[in-house]
Copies of this chain bind each other. A is one copy, B any other.
Amino acid sequence: MADNSFGQLFSFTTFGESHGPGIGCVVDGVPPRLPLSESLIQPYLDRRKPGQNRFVTQRREADEVEILSGVFEGMTTGTPVAMLIRNTDQRSKDYGEIARQFRPGHADFTYQEKYGIRDYRGGGRSSARETASRVAAGAIADLALKQFLGSDFRIRGGVVQIGPHAIDRSRLDWDNVDNNPFFCPDPVAADQWEGFLDSVRKAGSSAGAILEIVADGVPAGLGQPIYGKLDSELAAAMMTINAVKGVEIGGGFALSAMDGADAGDEMRAGDQGPEFQSNNNGGVLGGISTGQQLVVRVAIKPTSSILTPRKSVDLEGQDVDVVTKGRHDPCVGIRGVPVAEAMMAITLLDALMRHHAQCGLGDPA
Contact = CB atoms under 8 A, between A and B. Distances in A.
A204 B256 CA distance: 17
B245 A246 contact: no
Given A22-B68, A113-B220, A227-B240, A274 B361 contact: no
B248 A107 contact: no
A352 B361 contact: yes
A248 B245 contact: yes
Contacts of A103: 264
Contacts of A2: 5, 7, 11, 13, 28-29, 227
Contact of A263 (B6, B208, B228): B208
A262 to B, nearest CB: 8
Contact of A208 (B220, B224, B255): B255
Interface in A230-288: 231-240, 242, 244-253, 255-261, 263-269, 273-274, 277, 280-282, 284-288
Interface in A141-191: 144, 147-148, 161, 163-164
A191 to B, nearest CB: 19
A248 B317 CA distance: 30
Given A14-B226, A109-B290, A246-B248, 7 more contacts: A4-B225, A22-B68, A32-B116, A105-B281, A208-B255, A231-B244, A269-B313
Interface string A22-63: 111010111111110000000000000000000000000000
A301 to B, nearest CB: 5
Contact of A148 (B9, B208, B244, B364): B364
A341 interface: no
Contacts of A138: none
A255 B115 contact: no
Contact of A235 (B5, B84, B236, B265): B236
Given A117-B75, A301-B251, A286 B229 contact: no
Q: What are the nearest 8 A-B pairs in CB distance? A: A107-B286, A105-B264, A206-B260, A246-B248, A260-B302, A110-B288, A208-B256, A15-B82
Interface residues on A, range: 35 or more
**Total copies of the chain:** 4
A4 B33 contact: no
Given A5-B2, A299-B255, A232 B225 contact: no
A104 interface: yes
Nearest to A125: B79
A256 to B, nearest CB: 4
A291 B359 contact: no
A227 B246 CA distance: 16
A347 to B, nearest CB: 11
A123 B73 CA distance: 15
A269 B101 CA distance: 12
Contacts of A355: 114
Interface string A321-364: 00000000000010000000000000000001111111111111
Nearest to A321: B266
Given A33-B363, A125-B79, A319-B268, A301 B245 contact: no
11 contacts: A5-B5, A20-B68, A77-B117, A110-B286, A114-B223, A208-B256, A209-B256, A246-B252, A255-B301, A255-B302, A263-B301
